[in-house]
Structure 1
Amino acid sequence: MKERSGYVICPKQRMNNSWIGQSVTSRSKSNLALSFFCLPREQKWAMTVFYAFCRVIDDIVDSTVLSLQEKKEGISFWKKEIERIYTSMPSSPLGKELREVVIKWNLPQDILQEIILGVEMDITQSRYKTFEELSLYCYRVAGAVGLISIEIFGCSHSISKEYAITLGKAFQLTNILRDVPKDSAYGRIYFPLEELEEHGISEKELLDLKWSLKIREFFRFQYLRAKHYFAKSSKLIHPSDRPKLLAAEIMSAVYRAILEKIRTKQFNVFHHSIRLSKSQKLASIFKVLVTNFFDRRREQSFSPPKKIVVLGGGFAGLSAAIELNNLGHDVVLLESKSMLGGRAGSFKHPRLGETIDTGQHVMMGCYHHTLGLIEKLGCCSKLFWIDPIKIAFLSNKNYSVLAAGQLPAPLHLLVALLRYSQLNFGDWVRAFSFLLSLLLADKPLEQETASQWLKRKNQSPSLIRSLWEPLCLAALNLPLEEAAAPLFYEVVRKTLLGKRKDLSLVLSRVGLGDLFSKECERLLKMCGSNIYLKSTVCSMEFENGYLKAVRTTEGKIFSGDCFISTLPWHTLGSLLPEKSPLKEHCRSLKQSPILSLYFWVDRPLTNEPVIGFLDSPVQWLFARNLFVDSSLLSFPLYSYVAVISAPPQDILSLSSKEIENMVWKEINRLIPSSKEARFCQGFLFKAIGATPKFDPESLKHRPGPATQWKNFFLAGDWTATGLPATIEGAILSGKTAAQHADSLPLTGAPPTILFEENNSEIPLKKIPL
């Protein structure tokens, strides 16, 4: 069988009269012939014969000499030959060798026949409409091979069968991705046609090996799906069978290395031969042997894949779901809205039809977790970078620019502050001294506000006005007088004291709802996870220190091994039992608003994508025409958004029209040329609960990922991430909660119900433990 057959590998030695198996296996020169060196002598012989059988039947269907009829006759012969192995005496030398293996290891006939049926599919079928159809093929040509292999390896635990099937699928998906050029020569397409259609890829493009960006992104998701199954297979290794699966794990390591090589070639299997060098293969094998050596000397735990229910489909929920998927778990995601994205969403303007966000969001180069997720999903082209940082500031005094220049850290920052004309030399010295103290880990007091801390550190009023106040409002959505100093310390440390690129501004060129939510949804569904939109959780059932189930307003009941809530604090608080500590924490958190005025004018107001306003109730002006994808804008109008962070009550009490007039008046005052422009349309988005209000008192009520319920974890920008309530905080919280759920050992019997609708129970497919 081709390398896609999975586990089988050539041995170095023959045993007894097994010359047929040895001859076929030796001639194959398969990549799979690597790991049998670690098998005992008899198992090595058995795997040699078994692999020869797989190789022979696979060569029949791939022959360029045999006619179609001859191929069918060859497959028919082997179907009958397998029957003869179990009923009488096979007629071929290889069949007789295989009979010895079957008798010694009591191999099931139906699995051997499944392997033949899988190979036969290459004669009768060259297209697969859905992944379910392809999964049957993967099971037959790879999973079934694994099932035979674990019998020869001597595995005894029932979950090892699930391991064999899952790892076989991972192998096969890797082969399919690697062998696109080879398979296209036979006119075969192993990718699900409905997935090709979803990505806008025709069969002809694939068969003609016509490379394009959309094919690269399609291959990226095939790679991510294969990685999911590799991770899942690792969790299905029972400690009692682990020593017996060394050969399989060596082959797994080699195949993972092949998969990663595809990634390093930017998924371009059309123009790159994806083969491992001898040193790369040896490195993969050595790593497994070393790991196995140390594993034998410590107690082995067993934590199989879990069914994990994630509440909320915002950025934190998506981050948690993707991390769980990467770790090999099965996910059920519940979202109350009709689309994913949560508070960081987008919508169409009712009259102009322009895509706008639920408030303008800004990322930075120090958003490592967010940018890592965006890169993983292939969404980097949707980002607009201001690197090195350059922000124009307008004030009553003058026009000044905070620009870093192309210098390594920390010189980029020092030069930026020297160039910033809002500061004098004394301010620069104070700022430098302050940042130096931060490098020496001079942290603020827990109960200090940011304002108290800065004054204690001798920061001048001009420094506070022109540097620290804008940064605090942008990051914490609070003025310095209210913001918790420890949180502001983290902001300064990560933005100003990191690498040069960390200080860059990053904006989305598309609506935030389209930044990576669709890609997350696509990947999760490709890996078998379930997403339920318009599913609002209305109650939770707690029992004996565990969260047993959640109920939605539609009457569905969802159970799982673990739960991760990414719901806003005020929503979650309403679902928790009275007098629980977490409920009290939720009640203690307050909210801070943000006002975003989207408006359209008939001519450009500035050639800078971002402008900061000093000495004004309006803090920021974004020129959307300069960074948003032009297809999303309303031409010939020019699109802008003005942001008011943490507006005081006197502004919040104004009507939308009054706020619009105030903002336009401020723009006219600070940008005099704007008086020549015509204000055409305005749309005010009020996010009253945009962020939690993290003053020193509220900061104590940020909960961590763990709760008083052992299988219930928290995520969200409002939880204790050590970061402000930003996109980065949300993404980090999701990953952290997922890792906590991953490390939780399963105790007791797993749930048997995935969800209940109209009192009708639907069984949850669960691996027996």
Structure 2
Amino acid sequence: MADASALRIAVIGAGWAGCAAAVELADQGHNVTLLEASRTLGGRARKVEQHGRTLDNGQHILLGAYAESLRLMRKVGVDLEKSLLRLPLQMCYPPASGGMHFVAPTLPAPLHLLWALLTSTGLNREDKMSLARFSTTARWMGWQMYQDCSVSELLQRFDQTERLCRLMWAPLCIAALNTPPERASAQVFLNVLRDSLGAKRAASDMLLPRTDLTALFPQHAADFVAQRGGQVKTGIAVRKIRKTGTNWELECGAGETPDVQLFDRIIIATGADRAAKLLATLEGADTPPALPSFGYEPITTCYLQYAPEITLPRAFFALLDQPELGHWGQFVFDRGQLNPEQAGLLAVVVSASGNAIELDNGALAAAIAAQLAQALGLPELAAPLWQQVISEKRATFSCSPGLARPGNETSIPGLLLAGDYTAGDYPATLEAAVRSGVLAAGKAALFT
């Protein structure tokens, strides 16, 4: 039996799943080669350079419930206190919009939710009773459904009020699953609520990155792998996978050759569409594995730069999106409160943004700026100094009820998958990606 530390493992794709797999394998002493087609680590959660500034390709929120993400960040040396702004669970709309104000205090669970409910504003007695009924019944059910359905149907079954659905449940569903409630999985939504609202108080905390997403974890992960003798190669696109006996070979683009030529294991940690194309190239196997077809949802982030003295009363607000009025924004983040170097920069998120991106970027940015000016009662927000719209058209899979998702293992021993689309409790989130990477690494390290 070969020494486990001698396993040569290629991880294709340096998004959060690939980085998680590479870290786990390198930590176990395996010889890891991490390959990324682009020049920037992080996949669909990475930094981008725009206007001479470092932005993200999308604004993200992590949760205190993201146990695996936080564990691996600590492992690779991330200072969580400095890198993440920890806020209590909250759903607050700007005062000028007359919306809801819901903030959980630092009390033990579930008292923090009870107190937040009792002291919330913008909800009437019927709304509050509706929310309490949902929480109590979901806990009694063990956060499990006998048969999956849409989130909209779930909310109807729980007799949730129209106002509560509009101000609380629909925004949370879209933010967590990036899928509209009418076609989003109720079971996956309950899974997220179980691990956040239904767990200890810290699990419901909202964690806002103070640094760019590549620096938050992927770059630390790459350094961790390199320090343990692994290889991290960017700008190398794998074109074909070939099985030769008990080994694996990778065919890359012209002039793009990894240092290691033969591998004992392969982990494909790209997006589902790219993984399917790679599997279709597989040579040396009778029947190449196939992936199910996924629908996709876009996410758009609109960056608006104002004078440095422009700041919001809170680090972020929920926004009432009304597309029929040109109000596309769902959340606005004050990046200056996260990083002083970004003073005056606001990031507005439009999840499930398929209709919004039918507009050209200039028109969408102008509409969002006008929405902010009205919602926040600050007319000057209608005229930003500069703007940048970034859309990830295939940001996540469409998280529909009963969706079949593949496991980490394929039908061919030694060939594994990692990514937020693989089987798991969570929707396409950073935590889902990291969990998948960890699972794939564990299976890859097993001897067959």
Does the pair score TM above 0.5? yes
Q: Of the candidates 124, 137, 141, which is equivalent to residue 424 of structure 1?
A: 124
Residue by residue, what CA displacement relative to the aligned partner does 1:55-76 show, whole Å, maximum 9, x if unpaired? xxxxxxxxxxxxxxxxxxxxxx
Structure having greater relative contact order (Cα 8 Å, sep ≥ 6): 2
What is the rounded CA distance, in whole Å, between the counterparts of 1:388 and 1:661 in structure 2?
32
Aligned to 1:715: 418
Contact 2:369 2:382 in 1 (8 A): no
Residue by residue, what CA displacement relative to the aligned partner does 1:685-718 show, whole Å, maximum 9, x if unpaired? 0110111111125x21x11111111111111111
What is the rounded CA distance, in whole Å, between the counterparts of 1:508 and 1:681 in structure 2?
22
Tell whether 2:310 aligns with 1:604.
Answer: yes
SS in 1 for 2:100: strand
Sort the Cα spacing of 1:396 and 1:580 in 2 relative to 1 into closer, same or farther, 3 A: farther
Aligned to 1:694: 399
SS in 2 for 1:575: helix
Contact 1:605 1:674 in 2 (8 A): no
- The Cα of 1:432 is off from its aligned counterpart by 1.9
What are structure 2's unaligned runs of at least 5 residues?
323-327
Aligned to 2:345: 639
TM-score by length of 1: 0.54
Sort the Cα spacing of 1:547 and 1:456 in 2 relative to 1 into closer, same or farther, 3 A: farther
What are structure 1's unaligned runs of at least 5 residues?
1-158, 160-234, 237-302, 747-769
- The Cα of 1:445 is off from its aligned counterpart by 4.5
Name the structure with the higher helix share.
1
Aligned to 1:458: 159
Sort the Cα spacing of 1:591 and 1:382 in 2 relative to 1 into closer, same or farther, 3 A: farther
Aligned to 1:109: none
Name the structure with the higher strand share.
2
Letter in 1 for 2:414: N
- The Cα of 1:582 is off from its aligned counterpart by 4.5
Q: Of the candidates 481, 485, 503, which is equivalent to residue 204 of structure 2?
A: 503
What is the rounded CA distance, in whole Å, between the counterparts of 2:55 and 2:397 in structure 1?
23
Sort the Cα spacing of 1:397 and 1:357 in 2 relative to 1 into closer, same or farther, 3 A: closer
What is the rounded CA distance, in whole Å, between the counterparts of 1:674 and 1:372 in structure 2?
43
Aligned to 1:356: 55
Tell whether 2:98 aligns with 1:387.
Answer: no
**Between Structure 1 and Structure 2, how many residues are aligned?**
433
Sort the Cα spacing of 1:566 and 1:547 in 2 relative to 1 into closer, same or farther, 3 A: farther
Tell whether 2:70 aligns with 1:367.
Answer: no
Aligned to 1:270: none
SS in 1 for 2:169: helix
Aligned to 2:370: 665
Residue by residue, what CA displacement relative to the aligned partner does 1:599-623 show, whole Å, maximum 9, x if unpaired? 1112425221110012433100000
Sort the Cα spacing of 1:400 and 1:427 in 2 relative to 1 into closer, same or farther, 3 A: closer
Aligned to 1:33: none
Q: Of the candidates 618, 627, 634, which is equivalent to residue 338 of structure 2?
A: 627
Sort the Cα spacing of 1:455 and 1:532 in 2 relative to 1 into closer, same or farther, 3 A: same
Aligned to 1:549: 249
Letter in 2 for 1:604: I
What is the rounded CA distance, in whole Å, between the counterparts of 1:731 and 1:723 in structure 2?
11
Letter in 2 for 1:738: A
Contact 2:143 2:190 in 1 (8 A): no
SS in 2 for 1:412: helix
Contact 2:96 2:377 in 1 (8 A): no
SS in 2 for 1:716: coil
Sort the Cα spacing of 1:664 and 1:607 in 2 relative to 1 into closer, same or farther, 3 A: same
Sort the Cα spacing of 1:436 and 1:532 in 2 relative to 1 into closer, same or farther, 3 A: same
Sort the Cα spacing of 1:501 and 1:442 in 2 relative to 1 into closer, same or farther, 3 A: closer
Aligned to 2:437: 734
Contact 2:94 2:319 in 1 (8 A): yes
Contact 2:178 2:297 in 1 (8 A): yes
Sort the Cα spacing of 1:648 and 1:331 in 2 relative to 1 into closer, same or farther, 3 A: closer
Aligned to 1:583: 290
What is the rounded CA distance, in whole Å, between the counterparts of 2:420 and 2:299 in structure 1?
16
Residue by residue, what CA displacement relative to the aligned partner does 1:577-629 show, whole Å, maximum 9, x if unpaired? 389684341xx10110011110111242522111001243310000000112x
Residue by residue, what CA displacement relative to the aligned partner does 1:626-659 show, whole Å, maximum 9, x if unpaired? 112x24x3xxx6111111110243x221111110
What is the rounded CA distance, in whole Å, between the counterparts of 2:268 and 2:113 in structure 1?
39
Tell whether 2:109 aligns with 1:406.
Answer: no
Letter in 2 for 1:368: A
Aligned to 2:27: 326
Aligned to 1:122: none
RMSD (Å), alpha carbons: 2.3
Q: Percent of aligned positions with the same letter in both sequences? A: 29
Residue by residue, what CA displacement relative to the aligned partner does 1:267-318 show, whole Å, maximum 9, x if unpaired? xxxxxxxxxxxxxxxxxxxxxxxxxxxxxxxxxxxx5641111111111111
Q: Of the candidates 246, 263, 272, which is equivalent to residue 560 of structure 1?
A: 263
Contact 2:85 2:210 in 1 (8 A): no
Letter in 1 for 2:394: G
Contact 1:387 1:501 in 2 (8 A): no
Sort the Cα spacing of 1:717 and 1:388 in 2 relative to 1 into closer, same or farther, 3 A: same
What is the rounded CA distance, in whole Å, between the counterparts of 1:668 and 1:621 in structure 2?
12
What is the rounded CA distance, in whole Å, between the counterparts of 2:17 and 2:244 in structure 1?
26
Contact 2:101 2:121 in 1 (8 A): yes
SS in 1 for 2:301: strand
Letter in 1 for 2:56: D
Sort the Cα spacing of 1:456 and 1:691 in 2 relative to 1 into closer, same or farther, 3 A: same
Contact 2:9 2:32 in 1 (8 A): yes
What is the rounded CA distance, in whole Å, between the counterparts of 1:654 and 1:478 in structure 2?
20
Sort the Cα spacing of 1:677 and 1:592 in 2 relative to 1 into closer, same or farther, 3 A: closer
SS in 2 for 1:564: strand
- The Cα of 1:677 is off from its aligned counterpart by 6.7
Aligned to 2:325: none
Aligned to 1:477: 178
Contact 2:97 2:375 in 1 (8 A): no
Letter in 2 for 1:727: L
What is the rounded CA distance, in whole Å, between the counterparts of 1:676 and 1:367 in structure 2?
34
